[in-house]
Chains A and B, each alone.
Chain A
């Protein structure tokens, strides 16, 4: 996919991000930007620091460096307010509330919203994207299959109505056909105006979808470029795309 207009303004800017777990520096001086309308992906192996980076943006873990959203510094903003600012999230491991129903899971994502009419329109939108969820509204989240849970997690992120969506490994634990479905939906969501930052181990799918990507290795950005450039890069090919 070709990148949208390069002049578009910056939605998310991460500068010199460092994350420590005790004495271990998990993320080292990472910098990247996400522009309006883009899909940007962070790829890398286990432990490369991808999820930590996302968790820092969500305000769940402490960090050093600067993260700003539409020009606003996020450092002092608590996690729950970050959502209200317009950053929707699909957390690692999906974060489905197992003993709550599908309907309650979706409703929770509207917690910060006051626009009732818009909310009911958004429910319809989620049902039209994921008809399966509508069939299972009164079922407990924990009884859904892995694919359905991922749909619910994405549906929830849609209900929180962000202009930037963060996704942490949406392909995790899913059959290839379901991964394809989810990624197709992500492209549609992007085309309808939502900017996406995607963290993935499934580099092939992520790079095919993304406009731009960054490769993370042991906490550093080692390679960056457009999705196509990265797919053609011999090192990326060898390390992440199976040669």
Chain B
């Protein structure tokens, strides 16, 4: 390990320890709830990023996978099945749904996958709200404890981000990035675009489904169609873009930035925050396609080249 890796892995370790000890440091549920929200979004944005950022396939229906995960988990769990099984079933259900749309859509090139996923999420949103119009699938409040929920989200965030890290640093991850950069070129080297897209989609949907299940376990009372709403697609997507798609840290930074800014704006300007977020998203896509991570790298390079020039100037002429 080089110096940079040691620094970043010890920072990571400190962050995880702090998060793990957080419930000991604060007794305020509002703080825990805020951190849960952050962890949920980090997980969702990171899972979107595996397909959208690393493999270059625009998924406009991540809510479908988040929603189906929460629907399956909620129904099974409320129906009396042990939570762990219900939770896993949510993730697997999301993968099944993803393959159902991915296999036909990825055989075609271009925008079919984006359109297909967008339609899928909308159709499910309407269908679920028609089939389950009432709010009667709620857990028993007497048993409700916040701490297991908090640790579930924490473990899931670590698991998702860790899996994304190992996947994109593997041979398969390299293949995914090659597919993003150029499908024909990838195939000309013997890298199957279809297989790599389906792999990225399955991993992405699996974690989206799991975090949907965690949401179903955490949230006390809601309409079952609620996790299918388009905001569950576009918020995490925006976070990935704000932070920087195709990087591990991007969606994490993006989620923190997004949640922080949203809290601030909701307090100060209310519903107008939607307009501000929309504008911000357009500006970032247009002028900073690599997000905050790119902005950081650029400014650092600029600084380095400045100091580099100064050094050159003081080299004595011999």
Contact assessment for B187 and A97 in the assembled complex, using a CB-CB cutoff below 8 Å: no
If the complex has contacts A108-B174, A111-B175, are A80 and B191 also in contact, measured as CB distance less than 8 A?
yes
If the complex has contacts A104-B174, A111-B171, are A98 and B181 also in contact, measured as CB distance less than 8 A?
yes
Interface: B184 (CB within 8 A): yes
B110 to chain A, nearest CB (A): 15
- B191 to A, closest residue via Cβ: A111
The interface residues of chain A lying within 8 Å CB-to-CB of B181 are: 97-100
Interface: B89 (CB within 8 A): no
Contact assessment for B190 and A91 in the assembled complex, using a CB-CB cutoff below 8 Å: no
Can you identify 27 A-B contacts, CB atoms within 8 angstroms? A59-B187, A60-B184, A60-B188, A79-B187, A80-B187, A82-B190, A83-B189, A89-B188, A91-B184, A91-B188, A95-B182, A97-B177, A97-B182, A98-B181, A100-B177, A104-B174, A107-B174, A108-B175, A108-B178, A108-B189, A108-B191, A109-B189, A111-B171, A111-B190, A111-B191, A112-B190, A160-B190
Interface: A78 (CB within 8 A): yes
Within B175-197, the residues touching A (CB, 8 Å) are 175, 177-178, 181-182, 184-192, 195
Contact assessment for A100 and B178 in the assembled complex, using a CB-CB cutoff below 8 Å: yes
Within B50-102, the residues touching A (CB, 8 Å) are none
Contact assessment for A89 and B192 in the assembled complex, using a CB-CB cutoff below 8 Å: no
If the complex has contacts A78-B192, A111-B191, are A96 and B185 also in contact, measured as CB distance less than 8 A?
yes
| 0/1 string, B246-277, CB within 8 A of A gives 1 | 10000000000000000000000000000000
User: Bound state CA distance, A59 and B187, in angstroms?
Assistant: 9
User: Bound state CA distance, A59 and B193, in angstroms?
Assistant: 13
B185 to chain A, nearest CB (A): 3
A81 to chain B, nearest CB (A): 8
A77 to chain B, nearest CB (A): 12
User: Bound state CA distance, A118 and B188, in angstroms?
Assistant: 21
Interface: A50 (CB within 8 A): no
Q: Give how many A residues have a beta carbon under 8 Å from the other chain's beta carbons.
A: 27
User: Bound state CA distance, A28 and B231, in angstroms?
Assistant: 52
Within B138-195, the residues touching A (CB, 8 Å) are 171, 174-175, 177-178, 181-182, 184-192, 195
- B183 to A, closest residue via Cβ: A60
The interface residues of chain A lying within 8 Å CB-to-CB of B195 are: 80
If the complex has contacts A104-B174, A108-B174, are A95 and B185 also in contact, measured as CB distance less than 8 A?
yes
Interface: A58 (CB within 8 A): yes
User: Bound state CA distance, A107 and B187, in angstroms?
Assistant: 14
User: Taking chain B's interface residues, is the majority helix, strand, or loop, or is none over half, making it mixed?
Assistant: helix
Within A104-135, the residues touching B (CB, 8 Å) are 104, 107-109, 111-112
Within A50-107, the residues touching B (CB, 8 Å) are 58-60, 78-84, 89-91, 95-100, 104, 107
User: Taking chain A's interface residues, is the majority helix, strand, or loop, or is none over half, making it mixed?
Assistant: loop
Interface centre among B175, B181, B195, B246 (most CB of A within 10 A): B181
A60 to chain B, nearest CB (A): 6
Contact assessment for B187 and A111 in the assembled complex, using a CB-CB cutoff below 8 Å: no
Contact assessment for B175 and A58 in the assembled complex, using a CB-CB cutoff below 8 Å: no
- A97 to B, closest residue via Cβ: B181
Interface: A156 (CB within 8 A): yes
> Of A83, A90, A95, which one neighbours B190 at CB under 8 angstroms?
A83
Contact assessment for B177 and A95 in the assembled complex, using a CB-CB cutoff below 8 Å: no
| 0/1 string, B100-119, CB within 8 A of A gives 1 | 00000000000000000000
The interface residues of chain B lying within 8 Å CB-to-CB of A156 are: 189
The interface residues of chain A lying within 8 Å CB-to-CB of B188 are: 58, 60, 79, 83, 89-91, 95
Interface centre among B175, B177, B181, B188 (most CB of A within 10 A): B188
- A91 to B, closest residue via Cβ: B188
Contact assessment for B184 and A111 in the assembled complex, using a CB-CB cutoff below 8 Å: no
A36 to chain B, nearest CB (A): 22
User: Bound state CA distance, A59 and B189, in angstroms?
Assistant: 12
B20 to chain A, nearest CB (A): 35
If the complex has contacts A80-B190, A83-B190, A111-B191, are A97 and B178 also in contact, measured as CB distance less than 8 A?
yes
The interface residues of chain A lying within 8 Å CB-to-CB of B187 are: 58-60, 79-80, 83
* A-B pairs with lowest CB-CB distance, top 9: A95-B185, A83-B190, A97-B181, A80-B192, A79-B187, A89-B188, A112-B190, A91-B188, A80-B190
Contact assessment for B192 and A108 in the assembled complex, using a CB-CB cutoff below 8 Å: no
Contact assessment for B189 and A89 in the assembled complex, using a CB-CB cutoff below 8 Å: yes
User: Bound state CA distance, A79 and B184, in angstroms?
Assistant: 9
B289 to chain A, nearest CB (A): 11
Interface centre among A58, A60, A79, A83 (most CB of B within 10 A): A79
Contact assessment for B174 and A95 in the assembled complex, using a CB-CB cutoff below 8 Å: no
The interface residues of chain A lying within 8 Å CB-to-CB of B182 are: 95, 97
- A79 to B, closest residue via Cβ: B187
Contact assessment for A97 and B185 in the assembled complex, using a CB-CB cutoff below 8 Å: yes
